[in-house]
Structure formats: C-alpha cells, structure tokens
Amino acid sequence: MREPIIAIDGPSGAGKSTLSRLLAERLGFTHIDTGAMYRCVALAVDRQQLDLADVAGVTRLCDNLTIDFLRTSAGQTVHLNGEDISSAIRQPHISLLTSRVAAIPEVREAMVAQQREMGQKGGVVLEGRDIGSVVFPDAEVKFYLSASARERGRRRFEELRLAGQSVDLEQTIAEVEERDLADQGREHSPLVQPEDAVLIDSTGLDIEQVLARMLDYVAAKRPQGAGA
C-alpha cells in the first residue's frame, strides 16, 4: 500500500505553507507548494511583458516552464528554468498578478497536469486552493485551513516585513481580502472547502497545536506500520 496524498487547501495566510512544510518534514514526504507554481507563471508573464488576454502566448509560456522544488539546508527553494526565484515570486505585485494568472483555465490545466504527475505516487503534501476538490479529489487526507482575514493579513505583513520589504499593515490586509475575493469568485476552480475535508480554523492557535492535530489525523490514514 502506498503512502497517502495529503491535500491542504485554504485562503492565503491561513498557515498552509508553514504547516505543509512541517507536516512534510515530520512525515518524510515531498512538499509541493502549488501556489508557488502559479507564482512562477506570473513572474514569467511579468518578465516577458505578456498580455494576459493573449491566451495562446500564455499557454505557450506554460508549456516551456520547468518548475522544480529543491531541498537545501536552508529549506525548500523554487527554481524556474534552473534559476532560484524563491524570493522574486513573493513580491507584492507578483502576488496580485498571480491571482489573475491563476484564473486562466489554460494555465490551470497545465499546472494541474504537472501537479498530478508530481503527486501520483503518494507520500506527498500538496498545498493550494483546489487540491482536494480538483487536483486529487480522491486524496486520502484533506485539510481545509482557515483563519480570519485580519489575522491572515497580519501574518502576511510580518512575513514580508521580516523579508525586508517595506509594507503597510492595512494595505496588506486589503490585499489579502482582494485576493480572497478573486480566488473564491473566479469561474474556473474557485477556492472551496471540499465536503470531506477536515476544517481547522487556526485563528488564535499556535503552529504546534495545529500540527499535532494534523499528525494525529494522518497517523490513522497511513498504511499499517508506516512511520512507526
């Protein structure tokens, strides 16, 4: 029996990245940050100054992108056609462009195909917005992580500030709300909570508490003897 596929969905700033990373580390699973993949497409669109209305051009671009996640001693890095773009894809203007890029059906099709390829063997933690609903609807474990928009905006603000970016708290909260609306309101694969997902609201909870809850749940779903 193979190891499970773990799907983690939820809005931005709900703690998905940190928890997916920790969960994957603790289980020895591969961590696939699908948001980073859409960010890579947005970065390439931005660099090539492509018009998003040029769907054929954007589709061609997606077909020529090689996205790799590499494990280093400093954590996981994201590479686009061999270049480490881990920081470049986190710039606020790329975040906003990513919401628009991720709403293009052809982009989603290309990314979903890559994500299925990367995850099909199991032993993976995939984080995103549509993992449990579209990418792997049969995933053995599905979590939906949430937190209030204010709390999520505050967390994103701290993250950006620590990364040395000059940001404004209220503006960051407004951007989180704007992205929520775009992600939930889009026609193609909007952010939804799958019915069979375990809901965890992380407002007021610390990372260790949430992680312990997730690990307990996963333990019950793993093949007998695994991870013992």
Tell me: does residue 179 bind ligand DC (CB under 6 A): yes
Cα-based distances in Å from 122 to 29, 113, 115: 8, 15, 12
Tell me: does residue 99 bind ligand DC (CB under 6 A): yes
The tokens describing 79, both together, are 């590479």
Cα-based distances in Å from 54 to 50, 101, 107, 190, 212: 7, 11, 12, 22, 46
Tell me: does residue 129 bind ligand DC (CB under 6 A): yes
The nearer residue to ligand DC, 28 or 203, going by C-beta atoms, is 203
Q: How far is the CB of 82 from ligand DC (least distance, A)?
A: 21
Q: How far is the CB of 120 from ligand DC (least distance, A)?
A: 16
Q: How far is the CB of 75 from ligand DC (least distance, A)?
A: 15
- Sheet-wide strand order for 83-84: 67-72, 75-80, 83-84
Chain position carrying tokens 């701290």: 158
Q: How far is the CB of 25 from ligand DC (least distance, A)?
A: 18
Among 20, 30, 98, 146, binds ligand DC (CB under 6 A): 98
The nearer residue to ligand DC, 117 or 216, going by C-beta atoms, is 117
Whole-angstrom distance, CA of residue 8 vs CA of residue 21: 11
| Contact residues for ligand DC, defined by CB under 6 A | 12, 34-36, 38-39, 98-99, 102, 128-130, 179, 183
